[in-house]
Amino acid sequence: MEIRDCAALPSEEALPLYESAGWTNYTGAPEMLEAALRGSLRVLGAYDGALLTGLIRAVGDGSSILFVQDILVLPAYRRRGIGSALMRALLASFPGVYQVRLCADDTEEAARFYRSLGFLPDEETGCRSFSILR
């Protein structure tokens, strides 16, 4: 597995990852995905040869806030350390950032994964998150 910077990743290469996760907001609007990829602070991909097996996408200012917007791994490649490697590579590229945030599915699997990387739920940090989903 090789992690590469994917600043110019075309949406058609990323779509299979989003489809495998069932993220229809992106798969139903590939033009939105294209704009989201272009507007990201950083996009990193994990490759097995030429195959994109995982992706992490961050937005923010890279100094005070880094928001992990997307992290995906193809189902056949999960539980091989790809998601962890992507997260470590992303965080290493922003060593001085004050706050790293993300929003994840409310599952035990997600909680275990993010805790293993040092993330804490908001209630353990004295914060509260608010969202508007449109």
Q: Do residues 37 and 49 touch, judged by C-beta distance below 8 A?
A: no
Average pLDDT for 89-93: 96
Structure tokens at 109: 């699997």
CA–chain centroid gap for 127, Å, is 21
53-88 confidence digits (pLDDT tens) = 999 999 999 999 999 999 999 999 999 999 999 999
* pLDDT for position 105: 86
- Helix ranges, the chain (H): 11-21, 24-27, 30-38, 82-92, 108-116
* pLDDT for position 29: 85
Query: d(Cα 87, Cα 117) in Å, to the nearest integer?
Result: 8
* pLDDT for position 51: 94
- Which of the following CATH numbers is that of domain 2-104: 3.40.190.10, 3.40.630.30, 3.40.50.970, 3.90.1580.10? 3.40.630.30
